[in-house]
Amino acid sequence: MFDRRDWAGWLQGPRKSLESQGIEFGYPGERLGAPETGPDSIARFGRRILALIIDWASALLLATFFRDTLGMTTELDIFTLLVFFLHTWLFIAFFGGSFGHRIMGIKIRTLSGRRISIFQAALRQLLVCLVIPPVIYDRDQRGLHDKATKLVAIRG
C-alpha cells in the first residue's frame, strides 16, 4: 500500500514526489519556448511581487495627491484601487508593462508576440484587482489572469 517514499514525497510536496518518480517538469517557460534565464525568460515571482508593490505604492501616492488636491470625499482605499487599475492598465496597454514592471525589468507580451490590445490589458488588470487569479499559477509561473488573457510576463 504505502511505503516510506510515499510519505516522504507527501511531506516534500507534489513536485518533489513526482520528480523522484522520474517525471521531468523542466524550467518555467520551457513549454512556451522561453529560455531558462536572461532576456525573454519567464519573470520570476520575486520580481513580480516587487513590481506589484511599486505599482500599489505609486497608485496610493497618486490617489492621495488627487484626493487631497481636488478635495474629494471618496474613500481612499476604493479610490486607490481605481487609480491602480487605471494607471497599470494604461501602462500595460501602451508600453507593454506597468511602472513597476518597467523598474523591475519585466515586459508583458502576448503568447503569439503580437501587440497587447487595450481589452486584453483591461481584463488582465481587472483580474489582478480581484487578487485570487494572480495567486493561482501553473508550472510556467503564469497566473490565471495571464492565462485568461493569453499573456506572459517575461524579463526584459
Q: List the pLDDT tens digit at each of the 156 positions of the chain.
A: 556 655 555 566 666 666 677 677 778 877 887 788 888 888 888 899 999 999 999 999 999 998 888 877 777 788 899 999 999 999 999 999 999 999 999 999 998 878 899 999 999 999 999 988 888 888 888 888 888 899 998 888
User: What is the rounded distance in angstroms from the CA atom of residue 19 to the CA atom of residue 17?
Assistant: 6
Cβ proximity of 99 and 55 under 8 Å: yes
Q: Examine residue 60 and state whether it is found in any structural domain, yes or no.
A: yes
Q: Examine residue 2 and state whether it is found in any structural domain, yes or no.
A: no
pTM over the 0.85 mark: no
Q: Examine residue 138 and state whether it is found in any structural domain, yes or no.
A: yes
Look at residue 121 in the predicted model and tell me its pLDDT.
Answer: 95
Q: Examine residue 24 and state whether it is found in any structural domain, yes or no.
A: no
User: What is the rounded distance in angstroms from the CA atom of residue 112 to the CA atom of residue 1?
Assistant: 46
Grid cell locating 42: 519567464
Q: Examine residue 10 and state whether it is found in any structural domain, yes or no.
A: no
Q: Examine residue 146 and state whether it is found in any structural domain, yes or no.
A: yes
Query: How many domains is the chain partitioned into structurally?
Result: 1
Q: Examine residue 8 and state whether it is found in any structural domain, yes or no.
A: no
Q: Examine residue 11 and state whether it is found in any structural domain, yes or no.
A: no
Residues spanned by the domain of 146: 29-155
